[in-house]
Amino acid sequence: MKHPTRRTFNTALAGALAGAAGLPAFAADDAANYPSRPITIVVGFAPGGPTDIVARVVATKLSQAWGQPVVVDNKPGAGSNIGTEQVVRAAPDGYTLLVETIANATNMSVYKNLKYDTKRDLVPIVQFMAAPSVLVVNPKLPAKNLKELIALAKAEPGKLNYASTGVGGSPHLAGEMLKMRAGIDIVHIPYKGAGPALNDLLAGNVSMGFMTALGLVPYLESGRLRVIAIASPKRSPEMPDVPTMEDAGLPRFWVLSWNGLAAPAKTPKAIVEKLNREVNRILALPDVKKQLQSLGGDPVGGTPEEFASFVNSEIQTWSAVVQSAGFALE
């Protein structure tokens, strides 16, 4: 008769204890062997955008490090909700992951019938990057700084307007936060994407808008757009003369396009920590830093707990803005 080894006994005991605790019955050494098969990283947006590009950079480096395929699966639609729903329904084994974004924070308040709860159903692993938005105006507007812009809006309530990439997106919510924090009445003009919004802003058909700095520099240098302030905790090295919104008079006015890696709830902590360590290593690589900076952002990294705290603060911030704006999507 073949007697069980100590390792077999310990593995079985670990599985039994996990089952008794209502957790997935992973073997004790699963994290050490992870990954033993391909990993899928779901992106809730179409290919080619910044979130997709970051996902592919990280996926390539993970695959090289671990010798397993890491596939990026684009599931666009409903403000990234389609892709997120796929991940929260997946097995919590580390083989189906999500690129979590600001949409996962804002959607908690924007959508009335959301089929997931970001805080309950996802485990943040590590933040990839953050790219600040800038408030820009058409130069026909006489305002040269935030104080003058607010004064102009208060002098003529409802006359000025702002462009966004669509209802419920971060440029829309940034405009609503400006209305709430500055006590002004400006009209929201939604567009189907960043391109049309930028074109109408350049043409002077809209007064202002919050946009990522990437790609705006030529228009700022040529005078076709005027930058008012950057919505980040600190000034940008690329635009050191541009004040933050706080410098300009509105404290803690931050609008960051951020993303990071998340997993379904109940994913084993050891696997979360292994992913966290490896992605932090990847984010520190010079070529990765350069790629992320080319997208207008900076690598962030950090612990799962730090990312979770940041996501929770974003959910709280945007919930207050959505409530003030008084709108919701189905």
Q: Per-residue pLDDT tens for 111-137?
A: 989 999 999 999 999 999 999 999 999
Structure tokens at 174: 């940034």
Question: Domain for residue 247, yes or no?
Answer: no
In a domain, 246, yes or no: no
Per DSSP, 64 falls in state H
Residues 32 and 84 in one domain: yes
Do both 271 and 125 map to the same domain?
Answer: yes
List Cβ<8 Å contacts ≥24 apart for 271-277.
271/30, 271/31, 271/34, 271/93, 271/94, 272/94, 272/123, 272/125, 272/304, 273/31, 273/304, 274/31, 274/34, 275/94, 275/97, 275/125, 275/126, 276/125, 276/126, 276/303, 276/304
Between 304 and 1, name the one with better pLDDT: 304
Helices and strands (DSSP H and E) totals, the chain: 13, 10
Residue 242 included in any domain? no
Integer angstrom CA distances of residue 20 from 28, 112, 191, 270, 315: 15, 36, 52, 19, 33
Write down the pLDDT at residue 35. Answer: 97
Predicted pLDDT at 229:
97
Q: Residue 194: is its pLDDT beyond 70?
A: yes
Query: What's residue 124's pLDDT?
Result: 98
Residues 303 and 165 both lie in one domain: no
> Per-residue pLDDT tens for 272-290?
999 999 999 999 999 999 9
Q: What is the pLDDT of residue 29?
A: 54
pLDDT band at 322 (very low <50, low <70, confident <90, very high): very high
Residue 170 located in a structural domain: yes
- Looking at 231, 246, 270, the residue that finishes a domain is 231
Q: What is the pTM of this model?
A: 0.86
Residue 285 lies in a domain: yes
Buried-state track 236-261, b at ≥16 Cβ within 10 A, e below 16: beebeebbbbbebebeebbbbbbbbb
* Whether residue 99 is found in the same domain as residue 164: no
The reply to whether 170 and 114 lie within a common domain is no
148-181 pLDDT tens trace? 999 999 999 999 999 999 899 999 999 999 999 9
12, pLDDT greater than 50: no
Same domain, 189 and 76: no
Number of domains in the chain: 2
User: Which domain, by its residues, includes 72?
Assistant: 8-130+258-325
CA distance 295 to 212: 9
What integer is the mean pLDDT of 129-146?
Answer: 95
Residues 192, 218 within the same domain: yes
Per-residue model confidence (pLDDT) at position 49: 87
Question: How high is the mean pLDDT of the chain?
Answer: 90
Average pLDDT value for residue range 251-255: 94
- Contact by Cβ (8 Å): 162, 177: no
Domain CATH for 170: 3.40.190.10
Q: How confident is the model at residue 330 (pLDDT cuts 50, 70, 90)?
A: confident
For residues 125 and 270, state if they share a domain: yes
- Written in H, E and C, the secondary structure of 252-295 is CCCCEEEEEEEEECCCCHHHHHHHHHHHHHHHCCHHHHHHHHCC
Is residue 243, in this structure, part of any structural domain at all?
A: no
Domain contains 236: no
Torsion over CA of 268, 24, 40 and 56, rounded to 10 degrees? -10
3-state secondary structure of 248: coil
**One domain for residues 81 and 20:** yes
Do 210 and 262 belong together in one domain? no
The model's confidence at residue 8, banded by pLDDT at 50, 70 and 90, is: very low
- Residue linked to tokens 């994407």: 193
Same domain, yes or no: 142 and 209? yes
Among candidate residues 181, 186, 210, 187, the one with its CA nearest the CA of residue 198: 210
| Residue keyed to tokens 């593995």 | 11
Q: Which of 224, 189, 237, 184 is nearest to 210 (CA)?
A: 189
Whether 139 has a pLDDT exceeding 50, the answer reads yes
Which of 201-205, 229-233, 238-242 has the weakest average pLDDT?
A: 238-242
Q: Helices 102-110 and 170-182: crossing angle, nearest 10°?
A: 70
Q: Report cis status (omega within 30 of 0) of the bond before 157.
A: no
Any domain includes 289: yes
On whether both 146 and 95 belong to a single domain, the answer is no
CATH number at residue 61: 3.40.190.150
pLDDT of amino acid 253: 96
